Amino acid sequence: MGRMTVNLCGQHLDNPVIPASGTFGFGYEFAEWYDINILGTFSFKGTTREPRFCNPTPRIAECPAGMINAVGLQNPGVKQVITEELPKLSRVFHKKVMANVSGFSLDDYVYTCEQLDREDAVGWLEVNISCPNVHGGGMAFGTDPEAAASVTAAVKKVTRKPVIMKLSPNVTDITAIARACENAGADAVSLINTLQGMRIDLRTRRPVLANIMGGVSGPAVFPVALRMVWQVSHAVQIPVIGMGGISTSEDVLEMMMAGASAVEIGAANLVDPMACKRIIEGLPEVMDRYGIKTLDELKGVS
């Protein structure tokens, strides 16, 4: 057990750094840049029951200290992920991977999670409940405690692997959602997903994104994410994975002091493909600078 080792739902990670879903593809793309086995693990591209194409362009816009995206969960569908993407990944990544799952109904979530739960390469299921519930008026599952609990309970019935519920920050009280997921059997929660935002082009006087609104990520959201991780870690007994604007080794330590057991890094990967490698390699020096012997001693110290 090294000084950077952490435990996530009973499984040891060599370090707490996990590239976030949607920013790391299916991993093998980044393996062309460096040995991705340096990572704790990574959360692969959000996967749905059926293939999904992207939202119309433009779908990405810059903003101060971050970006806005409205990609729209583009992915090849769970069948192709299992038959093509995971075998390709196995050639370059020799650890368990985190499967990120999205859906638009309970049946969607159950089907996709059940399929991925059977895969030996999958160590955890990260369930994104920021998706609109098509049978519930379009409100995202993650904005209502009862709906969040219903997804959690349904998925837990068909899976054996740890289930991590990925929470939306676009709510009045994120702790209520986290507690509902915990009570319904979640093994962990991850947060925050992107905040809603938009940009307007002064020349055209129209929204920059074709979808009008999108998800804001990047360093600008870090203080909000840190606050929510701190709140949730004090509200539940299950592990919390912190994410939102992390771009340095110092950010990792700060997020763990707020109560995170591990962290996910998103937008930074799109700015610098070597971001996670740089952060991992920089952690020992930063730990030494602040007199931190092991990451275990940090959790929730604030």
| Residues classed as catalytic | 131
Q: Is 61 helix (H, G, I), strand (E, B) or coil?
A: strand
- Contacts of 271 by beta carbon, 8 Å cutoff, 6+ apart: 247
Cα 101 to Cα 271: distance, rounded to the nearest angstrom: 24
Cα 208 to Cα 192: distance, rounded to the nearest angstrom: 24
Burial readout 205-235 (b: 16 or more C-beta within 10 A, e: otherwise): eebbbebeebbbbbbbbbeebbebbbbbbeb
What amino acid occupies position 243?
M
Do residues 181 and 148 touch, judged by C-beta distance below 8 A? Answer: yes
Cα 13 to Cα 55: distance, rounded to the nearest angstrom: 35
Query: Which residue stretches of the chain are H helix?
Result: 78-80, 86-90, 106-117, 145-156, 174-183, 222-235, 249-257, 267-271, 275-289
Nearest to 59 by CA among 50, 68, 51: 68
